[in-house]
Structure 1
Amino acid sequence: MSDNRKTDAPIVHCPVFSDSSSLTIPTLRILKDDGTLYPDAAMPDIDQTLALKIYDTFLFIRALDERMLASQRQGRISFYMTETGEEAADIGSAAALVDDDMIMAQYREQGSLAFRGFTPDQFMNQIFSNEKDLGKGRQMPIHYGSNALHYMTISSPLATQLPQATGYAFALKAQQKNNCVICYFGEGAASEGDFHAALNMAGVFKVPLIFFCRNNGYAISTPAHEQYAGDGIAPRGVAYGLKTIRVDGNDVLAVLKATQEARKLAVEHHQPVLIEAMTYRLGAHSSSDDPSGYRNKSEEDTWRAKCPVSRMKHWLILQGWWDESQEETRQQHHRQTVVDAMKRAEKVPAPPLEDLFNDVYESQPWHLQEQQAALEQHIRKYPDAYKKTAWRFGNE
């Protein structure tokens, strides 16, 4: 029977207290702000095809976020969250996976879903909660999910996906599959109890799992220095027995390299990994948030100069794989694609009312039958109050 306790630790005879200075975790950076590489940097496995796919996903997400935020302001949708400034974190890491690795996201990883092939129409159908929405209109906007693309449906409560990811990875190990799970979360979610339970279980059972923390500096309006006293989130991975690495989250090459190596550890050695990506949320937390109340423009401008999108563009141009004329063409293409998909989604009717009640049980129990009948009676009694919902009964 093995004993994981440090019984071989040095023995001292006077009190010695350790603190965060005892463990300093470096930050991996490959790409400079001007698009050049650091000397002797370890490059990820990337070719022109993959590089252009990543960058084109960047441009699509910028177009999607820009249009959807404007639509929320116009009252066309109720809610939205952008990932402006954090594109390299989720898109760069998703590019290191294979298509049937499971993605368990928080709520700011639409880029990883787009990289997997989620179409503009699928995005719009979810955001507008119409009858073509894969979630049947039951979720708020941006709570995407796709069984076909191995992307677990987003959940509103913070950090619930972390222990779920550990359990899913445990099943992959039991089934001896050559896959892993990547689980995204913010540094704010790392303050939840689910974080600690998930990492501890993953470390003990050695499951194929990559915990990916987007440390963007704020948990809504709470800055990092008010969230924790230690050196970020990375040291917690070491404490729980995980291989741990910290990367520049605005450097797509560093993110890609770290995740490629992390996947090897997870799949080939059943060694869970924690990646902490140091990035910054340039936009508001959500369409309901005003960041001017808790941070200043100077801070935002400092990080805007480290923009992951322009950083990668400079590198692509230096490689001879991109130029400004392509940039303008693709930007315009994505903007038009998003607008066209939005117009189509707005015309699709809402799901039938019974979709609020089905799928949970094989046969509908009596209490749900009563609730459905009561709701239908209520809507028929006050039809004018529900015109905007476009709810309809399945046989109408």
Structure 2
Amino acid sequence: MHPTEQAILPTRVVGLISGTSVDGIDAAFVEITGQELDLKVELISGATYPYPADLREKILAVCAGEAISMAELAEIDDAIAFVFAQAAQNIQIGHQPATLIGSHGQTVYHRPPKHGDGSLGYTLQLGRGALIAHLTGITTVSNFRVADIAIGGHGAPLVPRVDAYLLSHPQEARCIQNIGGIGNVAYIPPRRDNWLEKMRGWDTGPGNSLLDLAVEHLTNGAKKYDESGQWAATGTPCHPLVEQWLAQDYFQLPPPKSTGRELFGVTYLQQCLQDAEVYQLSPADILATLTELTAASIVHSYRTFLPQLPDRVLLCGGGSRNLYLKQRLQSLLPAVPVLTTDEVGVSADFKEAIAFAVLAYWRQLGIPGNLPSATGAPREVLLGEIHPSHD
């Protein structure tokens, strides 16, 4: 038991995150009670606030490796913090105010530690917590990944420990599959017999990242994503291509592992499009094939690295709204129900934002937030830097 034995009053927290798709800031305003096994989270309000178009373009350029000056980096850092602070304030309108903000910020660079050479990974999330605390007058916890990375972990995925306490089941093994720009999984065995030590988690590979980039490319920027997978659903996947792509090193690498747009980004898509030329695929076929890669990489991950297939898969993140992708996952896992976390009482749209609210809450209570079996860190650590409000 962690050093938080006293009864804890309900705490109102805002969780903020913008994922690798860079499509906007997910804000979840929640009331939290309990600690770990008795953790309860009530979603008061959830909303997504799009980035201003010019700021989104700057972020995507930085993610793609465009060179900028330190002065420009500082400006982007401040601009992201400003829109995150606005999101935190807007989500509270009409409600009793929060006393804490947990802000993941915007990842612009992520380099996992290299296997076997003892090096540390590196990660950079913009949108500094000190400025969010200053602008909102609310204590803010930010920079969650660095403590795990500092002791040799990947700093990702960070959500599995929260999933363990919100979504575990006494008899059922579950995979909680987040599909944002990148896909990540938390495997939760039945809640008994050292179940937490038996949990696993890792980044499965591309989620929506290649799909969104392909839609933008195929429509010359007119569309940003394929709503519900409707366009991909009119195409036919090219299975030889999917098999070729699944031979990529990342998919064979054993967990713990993490990835990002640095691998599954513009350059990767260009290679995929080049590979597809020989098959003379239509735009719909290309989207169907990239969707199949996301689905097949998730299932390949389960079959290769899990002790057994789960009894149930629960989807969350933007990709959980892609009905064609969900259908393909179900087809590849015929004996396993594929649902969303909505169906077990946790918002699929805002689960990641909820998780960072919980991680901030745990940080204040002195409860570790990482799961070493998921991040590869040698031990549990407190996650996040606390920036007190001076109001």
Question: TM-score normalised to the size of structure 1?
Answer: 0.24
Higher strand residue share: 2
More helix by share: 1
Larger Rg: 1
